[in-house]
Amino acid sequence: MKLPRLAPFALLLAAALLLAGCQRDTAVPWQLTSIRGHMPDLSFRLVDDSGKTVTAADYRGKVLLLYFGYTHCPDVCPLTLAHLHAVLQKLGKPADDVRILFVSVDPARDTPAVLHDYVRAFDPRAVGLTGSPRDIEALVKRYRASFTREPAKGDSGYEVSHSSAIYVFDRAGHARLLATPPDSQAQIGHDLGLLIAQKDAP
């Protein structure tokens, strides 16, 4: 996704602002947008980067960062993964309780092996997930995200425009927070630290 393509992000940001306007999760001073009660619990059945079929239940007990992208992404995806790696590095040992779930919106090219090499180059706590186009589309719609395959440009292949939000789930798989590109590493790290400290998932 090229950085100038801001339409999907603009729509997502507008939705985030609407959610923020009606949020009720005021007991904790979150710095990201609270989506508690506005998004469904994490639910999926996909294939991880080792080739194993997994569900959301396999990641219960971890704080999860869900991101939709693809390995041929020229800019936003690598920048986001590098951004999250820096956040987790700053958190130190507690970050072992976090997993980045990188869901490919380009299953035709993103095999488990390709995803494994890609996500692990950024962070060992990142997991690549793929599956059938139908399963991926269902998960994208579940969280009101979006993606569109662009026309191929000669021999250079094709690109995929996709929304760029990071969905944060607590240890029980409940949707809690939404991070968007303007959010800083400090803001993300602050809120992750609070969720990690909640040893007993609410």
Residues 13, 103 contacting (CB under 8 angstroms): no
In a domain, 80, yes or no: yes
Q: Let me know if residue 186 belongs to a domain.
A: yes
Residue 1 lies in a domain: no
pLDDT in tens, the chain (202 residues): 443 443 444 444 444 444 444 444 556 689 999 999 999 999 999 999 999 999 999 999 999 999 999 999 989 999 999 999 999 999 999 999 999 999 999 999 999 999 999 999 999 999 999 999 999 999 999 999 998 988 777 666 888 888 999 999 999 999 999 999 999 999 999 999 999 998 765 4
**Residue 2 falls inside a structural domain:** no
3-state class of 166 per DSSP?
Answer: strand
Assigned domain for 183 exists = yes
- CATH code for the domain of 98: 3.40.30.10
Nearest to 128 by CA among 112, 139, 141: 112
* Residue 62: inside a domain: yes
Per DSSP (E only), the strands in the chain are: 33-34, 45-48, 53-55, 63-69, 98-104, 126-130, 147-149, 160-162, 166-169, 175-179
Burial of 154 (0-12, 13-18, 19+ CB in 10 A): exposed
The predicted pLDDT at position 2 comes to 40
Asked whether residue 71 is domain-assigned, the answer is yes
Report the number of distinct structural domains present in the chain: 1
Q: What is the pTM of this model?
A: 0.84
Domain that holds residue 145: 7-197
Look up residue 7 and give its two tokens: 């339409």
Is residue 156 one of the residues assigned to a domain? yes
